[in-house]
Structures are given as C-alpha cells and as structure tokens.
Structure 1
Amino acid sequence: MVRITDVADLAKVSPATVSRVLSNEVKVSSETKKKVLDAIEKLNYRPNVLARQLRRMETKTIMVIVPDITNPFFSKVLKGIESVARKKGYKVLLGNTDNDIGREKEYLELLHHKQIDGTILLTARMEGKYITEWADQYPVVLACEYLEGSLIPTVSIDNVSASRKATEHLIKLGHRCIGFISGPMNIILSKDRLKGYHQALAQNEIEVEPLLIQEGDYSSKSGFNMMLKFLALENPPTAVFASSDEMAIGALKAVKINGFHVPGDISIVGFDGITLGEIVEPAITTIVQPMYQIGYKAMELLLNLIEDRELPKKQLMLADKLIIRESCGAKMIRDTIVF
C-alpha cells in the first residue's frame, strides 16, 4: 500500500505539504505542487478521501494512550501535555492500556471515528507498521518510547547514553560486580538501557555476567523479586542499577528485609526521577527524565500536526540528569547534579 509518506519522500517534501496539494490549498507553490502531483502519478497513490474529510472536523479533544496509569512517571508527563492543551482550548482524554496491545489499537480507532483530533502515544508496543499507517493519516505523536527508524514525530531522551552514565557512576565508585534489572525486553527502552549498561562495562573492561542481568516489568514488585535473585547468588552484586525508580525501590526493600544495608552492603541506582525516590530511605540516586517537558513538547508537536503546520524538527531528544543521593554511597552533597 502506497502511503502519503512515500509520496512525500519521492517529491522531497513533507507529508503536510502533500496534504495541502491534495486539498488544493493556494499557498503551495506551483513548482512544489507539480513535484507532488508527479510523485502521486508515478506511485499511483490513492488518498484516503474519507480520512481527509474527517480531519477537517474538530472535536477540540486529544487522547493520551498510557501503558500503565499506576506508574507515577506518567503523571508529570500528563501534566505537561495538559498545560499546553488547556492553553489552546483542548480537552485531554486518557486511555490506560495496562500494557494490552489490543486496547492500544481500540483507542487509536477513535481517530478513525473522529471522536478525537489527535493522539499522543506514551507507548509504542504495537507493530511499527501499524502505528505508522495511522500516523500517515492522522495526527499522532510518540513520547517516551519511539520506533526505530520512524519519521513519526517523537519526544524522548537518549536512553542508551543515560543508562551508560548511571552504570559508569557505579564503576567510578569502585564497583566491578554490578547487577542490572531491565524492563520487559520487548520494549525498545529496555533494550536501550541494557545496551548502555553493556557499553559502560565494556569501556571499563568488565566482563558481562549473565546472572547479573534480570528482567523486570518496571514495577516495584518485580524489582523486589529480581533483587532476591541477586541476593541468592553465591557472589551477590555490590551494586544494582534498576532501569526504573519503582524497581529500585522494590530492590531497596528486598535488601533491607534480608538484613543488609544500602549503601553499606549494596549500592542502588534507579531511573526516571519520580518523587517517591526522594522520600524513601535512603533516597535513590537516579537518572532524572524531564517528564513535564516531554509532555509539553509532545503536545506542541501534536498541535502542529492537527493544524497542518510544518514541523521544524520531528525528532526531539531532551537532556537527562544523574542526581546523586544516598543510595549509591557517593560522598557528595545531597542532590548534586552530574551531567
């Protein structure tokens, strides 16, 4: 099936420009219009007329699709989204999927029925081809997660670099036996964070030990259970990097109830920067994501798509920070920022 992005690539213009030509808008130059029409003819592109007609109707409502509403990480992302939406007169609907791909698809169907003007996906677990087909016809933005090689507008951080930074911090503290608790390995974020862990070990000539890598699901319960596995090893790790703060907090509890101390016996580092990580004792050293800004920028991108404006940049990568607290044992001032 020929898509609008195929036409845009051949004509060397944006999909929004192709849409303008199809809508016969006067602000498109004759030269650009000819390039687009030639590409349409060459590719034998047949636009979805119904989709284009429906897009002209406004509901002033957008939907945010969330994989797990119980995860506190998403609350600040949603706050950023709503901040922009309210200023522009948009209502925000929330679709919680509980990591069910079928439910993600059901929520996307609301675009087809014109019950919403656009969607922000805080999850990208459906087949990439399926998401791309929707994004070709309707305003869709990805935030936090992303599709590798996709041109869908996306806001995220560099998860590989962030994970490498967290692991290197533990290595600089003298640790050589570092456990890693990943998220589900069918998610690109989990793969990226594992990659960063591997890179840090390789750059410091530390051999990867398979038993020191355990797969969680980003929940505190999985962090607790994976830490119990580490503690059962003949040579438990002296430090653990959990790829979410919730898992780090679960790991912290497992260490404590087994009579060990953090950071005296085991150092712990998390990922995300949720508020709860500051409250637990000891407070969790973590990679802080700019959650509010991720949501804010994602909503700005979505509004540009809804209003058919050109996007100066489709892929936005925001900066993360390593916040040093007591859980890793570093002798530094609380909340020192390391870039």
Structure 2
Amino acid sequence: MVTIKDIAARLQVSASTVGRALADDPRISAAMKQKVLEVANEMGYVANRAARMMRGVSSNLVALVVPDIRNSFYSTIAHALAKCLGSAELQLTLSETDDDRLIELRHIRELTSVNVAGIIIVPSARPHPESVRLLKMAPCIQLLRKHAALGEQWFGIDDTQALYQATKHLVELGHQRIAYIGGTTDLPTGAARLQGFHNALAGSKAAVHAREELGAPSSTDFGRDAIRRLLALRTPPTAVVLGAVKNTQGVLDELLERGVRVPEQLSVVGFGDELGFRWWGPGLTAVSLPVSELATACGLWFIHQMKQKDASPAPYSSVSPPTLIVRGSTRRMEPASAGRAEARLRQPAG
C-alpha cells in the first residue's frame, strides 16, 4: 500500500508537507498541493481514513438514521441526501432503528465512535438519555420528527396542515361520518396530524361524527385491521382519511380484497403521493409531501454548516408545506345517499 512517506520520498519533501497538502492545509502553496495530488494519483495512493479518525479527524461519512427503510419516505430521503452530499465529497451511510430506542442507541454509539461528520436522524418517540448525550458530540439534524432534547436543527413538514387539508376536503364534500387512521400521539408527527384532523372538524358548520384509529404508522397490518373495525361498525364511516404511508397501503389492500367500491361506498384520502397511488382504482386523492426537496434542503444546509465550521450553529427550522392532490377516490356525499352507502358497506362482498 502506498503511504504518505512514499509520496514524500518521490517528491523529496517531508512527510508532514505531503500530509498537509493532502489535507488542503493553507500553509502549503497551491503549486505544492498540485504536485502532491498528481504524484498521489500516479502512485495509487488511498487515504487511510481509519488512521485519520484515530487522530480525531472527522470522517467524510454522514449518517442517516431512520425507523424503516421500507417506508418510501425514507428511501426517497436517502436517495436525495446521497446525491446532495456527494456533490461535496461526503458519503451517506444508513442505519435503521425500527423505532426501537435501544437499537437507535446502538447505532448512535457506533457512528460517534468513528467520528462521523454529522448525523441526520428521524428520532424515535423517546430517545435514550445516552443517545441524547452522544448526539451532542457530533453535528446533528432532525428530519421529519422533532424531539426537544436533540437540539433545534430541524427540517420537517407541516403535518397539522397536511391532515387539515385532507379532512377539510371531505367535510366540504358533505361527509358527516369521517374516520381517521394514523400514528399514535407518542410521535410528534402523529400528534400534529391528529390535531389537523380535529381542527378541520372543528371548523365545520355541520355536525360531523368522527372516529379515530391510532396505532403503528409504519404498519400495513394496522391499516388493514383498522379499516376492518371501521367497516364492521353499526354505522360505518362514509369517508376515511389516512395519516401514514404504510397505513394507507394496508387500507387500500384491504378495501380491494373486500370489494369495497371507492368512492361509491367509501371516500378515501391517502397520505403521501406514492406513484402507485395514482393508479390505484379511480386514482387516490392524497396529501403530497415534498420529501425529496426537504431532504435536499437539509443536505445543502448541512454542507453550508460544515464550511462554516461552527461547533454550535444557531437554531434553525425549515417547515415545508403539503399539497392536496384530488383524484377519483373522493366524491360529494348527497344527504339521501348516506343511508344507501351505509347499507352497501354492510353487505358481504360478492
């Protein structure tokens, strides 16, 4: 393996001069840096990053810590961040926590032990106290979710407005029995989305009967079970609004299997404008979230902070707005049709 000493011997300069040139030290002239880079490339030199990290030098790795990479939100974020950070010669590494704070702690321990350049995290509901302590040792940005103990650098989406728009759409279509399926209020995103649901109902002039099914947002099974319970009610809802991508997928699968006609029997508003949602049935009305743009903005801000070399950056929050995309899965509910829709829903499929 070619070493710094080998390059120094070829150029007949000291090893410290070569090391500083490779580190872009301002004490070394531009001409010498160019010579060192040319010889290093010619000899096939590869930097020993492990040795640099042992000396306390930060790596070029930026960690993305997410609950579940199967959620398209997080895979989209990972893709956008990797492209953005790559433009600054930073490399993205991925850790998955399954929303378990002990798994989250294990990953954070490993990441901080190798002096990562920074950690971008979608935190669990209650991060372990040691996770909180360790995250203060490296630049940390929260994404989508925000926990007060993890600092004030956060990039997120207006979750309250997302569910407000979705629910208001159903209210304006005349629905008076509306159900919500979404994440628990243990998570800040779940609490904000439920608040948006309540806000839209509170602003309605008509009496609206609401029902809530709250559970694991990353579970398609929960979505399936929740819609089964709602359809089995004596007076089932005429519309359902969803507060998580995986829950939406589960609900759509269950409705398809049961032969429920959308929107004739049930109006549905999904969460997240997945590509497949556009093709589902009559096309799914859904809340579109600018996830890729959000991740890119987060990456650019991180790169800027790296260049500033500010150990304690000022608090910064960025909130991106959602957009309601109206397709064929929702329809106006005429007063006389409510009873007929309820009767059809209670009939067995087929």
Normalised-by-shorter TM-score class? 0.7 to 0.9
Does the residue aligned with 1:328 lie in a helix, a strand or coil?
coil
SS of equivalent to 1:142: strand
Q: CA deviation at 1:244?
A: 1.9
Aligned partner of 1:176 in structure 2 is 176
- Quote how far apart the aligned CAs of 1:175 are: 0.7
Q: Name the SS for the 1:75 alignment partner.
A: helix
Contact 1:155 1:298 in 2 (8 A): yes
Distance (whole Å) between structure 2 residues aligned to residue 199 and residue 129 of structure 1: 34
Structure 2 residue corresponding to 1:324, chosen from 299, 323, 326: 326
The question of whether the paired residues in 1 share the 8 Å contact of 2:267 and 2:329 is answered with yes
The 1-side partners of 2:85 and 2:131 are apart by 23
- Partners in 1 of 2:134 and 2:329 — Cα distance? 44
Q: Secondary structure at the match of 2:136?
A: helix
Among all aligned residue pairs of Structure 1 and Structure 2, give the percentage whose two residues are the same amino acid: 23
Deviation of the 1:279 alpha carbon: 2.8
Summarize the Cα distance change of 1:153–1:78 in structure 2 as closer, same or farther, 3 Å threshold.
same
> Pairwise mapping of residues 274-313 of structure 1 onto structure 2 (< 5 A)?
274-307=274-307, 308-309=309-310
Aligned partners of 2:284, 2:199: CA distance in 1, in Å? 23
1:260-308 superposed Cα distances (whole Å, 9 cap, x missing partner)? 2111110111112222222322322111111111211222233344442
Output the amino acid matched with 2:172.
Answer: K
Tell me how far apart the structure 1 counterparts of residues 260 and 127 of structure 2 sit (CA, whole Å): 43
1:224 and 2:218 aligned: no
**Structure 1 position 322, deviation (Å):** 0.8
Q: Report which structure shows greater RCO (CA 8 Å, sep ≥6).
A: 1
Per the TM alignment, residue 202 of structure 1 is displaced from its structure 2 partner at its CA by: 0.9
Distance 1:68 1:150, change over 3 A: closer
- Contact kept? 1:277, 1:284, Cα under 8 Å: yes
Q: Size of the alignment, in residue pairs?
A: 278
Instruction: Say if 1:206 and 1:227 are closer, same or farther in 2 by CA, change over 3 A.
Output: farther
Pairing partner for 2:317 from 296, 315, 331: 315
Residues of 2 paired with 1:169 and 1:321: CA distance?
12
2:265, 2:242 → 1: CA distance?
Answer: 16
Q: Deviations over 1:24-45 (max 9, x none)?
A: xxxxxxxxxxxxxxxxxxxxxx
Give secondary structure in 2 for the equivalent of 1:178: strand
TM-superposed CA distance for 1:130, in Å, is: 5.3
Q: The residue matched to 2:303 in structure 1 has which SS?
A: helix
Cα distance in structure 2, aligned partners of 1:147 and 1:99:
14
Q: Contact 1:118/1:306 (CA < 8 Å) preserved in 2?
A: no
Match runs of 1:1-339 below 5 Å: 57-127=57-127, 132-148=132-148, 151-205=151-205, 212-218=211-217, 219-307=219-307, 308-309=309-310, 314-329=316-331
TM-score (normalizing by structure 1): 0.75
Contact 2:182 2:243 (C-alpha < 8 Å) held by counterparts? yes
Distance across 2 between alignment mates of 1:85 and 1:232: 49
RMSD between aligned residues:
2.6
Equivalent-residue separation in structure 2 for 1:290 and 1:122 (angstroms): 16
Residue ranges of structure 1 left out of the alignment (5+ in a row): 1-52, 332-339
Which is further off, 147-156 or 220-229?
147-156
> Does structure 1 retain, via aligned residues, the 8 Å contact 2:67–2:124?
no
- Separation in 1 of the partners of 2:214 and 2:189? 13
Q: Using structure 2 for the length normalisation, give the TM-score.
A: 0.72
- Structure 2 distance, partners of 1:70, 1:112, is 25
One-letter code aligned to 2:117: D
Mapped partners of 2:242, 2:236: distance in 1: 15
1:164 counterpart SS class: helix
Q: Is the 8 A contact 1:182 1:216 kept in 2?
A: yes
Contact kept? 2:108, 2:135, Cα under 8 Å = no
CA distance in 2, matches of 1:111, 1:277: 36
Amino acid at match of 1:137: M
The 4+ residue runs of structure 1 with deviation greater than 6 A are none
Larger radius of gyration: 2
- CA distance in 1: counterparts of 2:108 and 2:81, whole angstroms: 18
Shift of 1:155: 0.4
Residue 98 of structure 1 aligns to a residue in which SS?
Answer: coil
Name the amino acid aligned to 1:286: A
